[in-house]
Chains A and B, each alone.
Chain A
Amino acid sequence: GAVVSQHPSRVICKSGTSVKIECRSLDFQATTMFWYRQFPKQSLMLMATSNEGSKATYEQGVEKDKFLINHASLTLSTLTVTSAHPEDSSFYICSANEGGPKNIQYFGAGTRLSVL
């Protein structure tokens, strides 16, 4: 079946640094990918919709300059957390839509970000 690869699975960084998270669809093309954030014991929260070849669509309250999204190809979207702060520590998950009549979303394994 379709697979979405997310890397890295875990990252620990110092406050003020930037962290890039990659999301790849391995055996299908994804014109749309989604980035979610999940705080402990809470549900997933959609941050932004990543569109190949165009600007990402951010949800209300999500800072565009803080969370940079690039979807340069049909199989790769990246999320960069710029100038990370401890409050950015969270679990970030991507998903990709295979499209077609089934419209199934496949999820990456997630990235646990810890900002010291």
Chain B
Amino acid sequence: DIQMTQSPSTLSASVGDRVTITCRASQSISGWLAWYQHKPGKAPKLLIYKAASLESGVPSRFSGSGSGTEFTLTISSLQPDDFATYCCQQYYSYPWTFGQGTKVDIK
């Protein structure tokens, strides 16, 4: 299985901050990576697919980059609604695997 490792596990930030989350794959996954936002009791929300493609309806302050084994999710200016957990997922090969999540909380 391809292991996905996110850093940091927790990130404290303020509204307006630029936030960057890193996801590393244990082997090359080309650009087959998705990012999700997850809030307690709610359905996870797809933000980014194919490493850098923004899902329809997702604010442009979210962006993704990377290829191979290292990927980043950037929130250019953190908004109150963005305090949540973010996780990455590789879909290069079965079984699909996820990172352990990065919780973004209020500083």
Say if A and B assemble together: no
| Residues of chain A whose beta carbon lies under 8 Å from any beta carbon of chain B | none
